[in-house]
Amino acid sequence: MIIEKEAVESFNRKYRAKHERQFSWLKEELSEQGVDTEALVAQLQAFQVAIPSWALGTGGTRFGRFAGGGEPGSLEQKIEDIGLLHALNKSSGAISLHIPWDIPEDPAHIKKLAESHGIRFDAVNSNTFQDQKGQQLSYKFGSLCHTDAAVRKQAVAHNIEVIRHGMALGSKSLSLWLSDGSCFPGQQNLARAFNYTLESLREIYEALPEGWQFLVEYKPYEPNFYSTVIQDWGTSHLLCSKLGEKANVLVDLGHHLPNTNIEQIVAILINEKRLGGFHFNDSKYGDDDLTVGSIRPYMLFLIFNELVEGIRQSGGDSNAYAWMIDASHNVKDPLEDLLQSVEAILLAYAQAMLINRESLDNAQLANDAGRAQQILQQAFRTDVRPLVKEAMLRSGAALDPLGLFRELKVRERLIEERGASSQATGL
Ligand code: AOS
Ligand code: ZN
Ligand code: ZN
C-alpha cells in the first residue's frame, strides 16, 4: 500500500485553519521569549529516526505472541511499511536492518525500493544472541567472549558479513549488542570474558570501512541474569576507547538499572565525544521496550536537553548521531506505536530546544536551583505540538499522522493485502 501525496494534502486541508491559529499564537508567545521559531521548525524537519526492520510486527514476550494481522512477511514489505510511516510523518526516513533476520538477497533492488520511499539505510545490526538454522557452533555460552576460539571466530566472521551487507546498501555503521554473559556466579571468568570480547571486537573494528562507525551497545542483564560482559556505559566506553575513534557508545533507554540518571550518562558521553547512537523506547521496570514517552516523558525531555547540547557541538546537525526506535509491540498496532514514538521524540526535542540556555547557565553558575528548575519546566510545560505539526506540514507530512493512518484504514488494508495471519520475520 502506498499513501499518495494527495491523500495527505486533502487530510491537511481539513485541519489547516485550526493548526494555523494555534501555530501563530505559539509563534508570537515564543518570539516574546526570544525564540527563533523558524530555526526550531527547520531543526525538527531535519530530524530523522530510523525504524528497525524487526519492529514492524508484533514482538510478543516469552509468554507468547499475539500476531496482529497484515504484518510484513518480507524485507520488501517491511520497507513498504516504513514507507507508509515516512509518508505520514516525514520523520522516519531510515531503516536499520537486522542480519540474518532480513538479509537483502538483491541489494541493488532493495536499495532502489527504499530510495523510492525516501528511505536510507542506517546502522546494520548483527546477531550473535541466537543460533540460526544450520549454524555450525552454538552461542549458548557466548559469542565474542566464548571460551572456544572457534566460536569467537565464527561470531567475528558474522559481524564482518553484516558489514558487507551494509556496504552494499550504503549503510555507514555497524551496531552491536551482545547478550554474552553468565547466569550464575563462578560460571564465567569475568576478566577473561572481557579480554576475549575486546580481542574479538578489535578484529571486527579492523574490518570497518572508511567513514564507518562501530556502535557498541550495553545492557545490565537479560538474557543473562548474573553478569553481562558489556553491562554498562562505562564498560562500553572502555572498550570503545581501546578500539579507536570509529567506536562509540550506543545508549538504549531501557538498558539501565532502575532510577539510573541516564541524562547524566548522555552528558558525559557527549563531553567525551563518545556518544554514537541512541535506541529510543520507554520502560517502567527493565528493558520493557514500550512506546517512547509513554511512561517517563520528563526524563526524555531531560535527555534531550543534553542531546541539544551534543547537536550544537556537532554544528547543529542532528543526524550526527544514529537515532533509532528500539521497541517491541505487544498490545498496540506496531505502526501506530511507531508513529506515537516518533511524535514523542520530536516533542521532547522541540521542548528541549525551547530551554533558555543562557539563563540556565547563569542560574547554574549562581547555584540557583529554584530558577534552574523553573527554566527547565517552563520549556517542558509548553505545548509544542503546533511546532511539530508545522514541521510536518512543511515537510509534506500529515498534520496528524495517526489520525490519517486510522482514517485511511491502513491496517485493515494491509490485512486485506497480506492476510490476517501473516507474521513478520524476525524475533
Ligand atoms: C536488546 O535488548 C537490544 O536492545 C538490541 O538493541 C535489540 O533490541 C536487538 O539487538 C534486536 O536486534
Ligand atoms: Zn537496543
Ligand atoms: Zn533492549
Q: What local confidence, expressed as pLDDT, does residue 427 receive?
A: 62
Mean pLDDT on 198-209: 98
pLDDT higher than 90, residue 426:
no
Q: What local confidence, expressed as pLDDT, does residue 56 receive?
A: 94
Mean pLDDT on 22-30: 98
Residue nearest to atom 3 of ligand 1 (CA): 177
Q: How far is CA 156 from CA 126, 213, 234, in A?
A: 10, 16, 23
Using CA atoms in the order 212, 272, 217, 258, what is the torsion angle rounded to 10 degrees? -160
Q: Measured from the CA of 217, which atom of ligand 1 is nearest? A: 6
Mean pLDDT on 187-216: 98
Mean pLDDT on 55-79: 89
pLDDT in tens, 372-421: 999 999 999 999 999 999 999 999 999 999 999 999 999 999 999 999 98
How far is ligand 3, taken at its centre, from the CA of residue 255, in Å? 6
How far is ligand 1, taken at its centre, from the CA of residue 177, in Å? 6
pLDDT higher than 90, residue 60:
no
Residue 93 — φ and ψ, nearest 5°? Answer: -85, 35
Task: Return left, alpha or beta for 315; rule: phi > 0 is left, psi -120 to 50 is alpha, else beta.
Answer: left
pLDDT in tens, 244-260: 999 999 999 999 999 99
Percentage with pLDDT > 70 across the chain: 99
Q: Which ligand is nearest to the CA of 101?
A: 1
How far is ligand 3, taken at its centre, from the CA of residue 407, in Å? 32
Mean pLDDT on 315-319: 93
One of 1.10.10.10, 3.20.20.80, 3.20.20.150, 3.30.70.1530 is the CATH number of 47-355, namely 3.20.20.150
| Ion ligand 3, residue ranges at CB < 5 A | 287
Coil, helix or strand at residue 271: helix
Mean pLDDT on 118-143: 97
CA distance linking residue 306 with residue 135, whole number of Å: 43
Q: Which three cell numbers stand for residue 275?
A: 556518544
CA angle 177, 180, 186 (to 5 degrees): 155
Q: How far is CA 146 from CA 137, 178, 195, 238, 422, in A?
A: 11, 12, 10, 20, 37
pLDDT in tens, 250-308: 999 999 999 999 999 999 999 999 999 999 999 999 999 999 999 999 999 999 999 99
Q: How far is CA 415 from CA 58, 331, 406, 421, in A?
A: 14, 17, 14, 8
Q: What local confidence, expressed as pLDDT, does residue 22 receive?
A: 98
Task: Return left, alpha or beta for 376; rule: phi > 0 is left, psi -120 to 50 is alpha, else beta.
Answer: alpha
Please give the model's pTM, rounded to 2 decimal places.
0.97
Q: What local confidence, expressed as pLDDT, does residue 418 receive?
A: 95
Domain spans of the chain, in order of start? 47-355
Beta-bridged to residue 96, according to DSSP, are 52
How far is ligand 1, taken at its centre, from the CA of residue 21, in Å? 42
Amino acid at 8: V
Around ligand 1, the residues with Cβ closer than 6 Å are: 54, 98, 125, 177, 217, 219, 252, 279, 287, 326
Of 251, 326, 329, 427, which is best to mutate to test ligand 1, by the most ligand atoms within 8 angstroms of its C-beta?
326
Q: Which ligand is nearest to the CA of 59?
A: 1
CB atoms closer than 10 angstroms to residue 186: 7
pLDDT higher than 90, residue 83:
yes
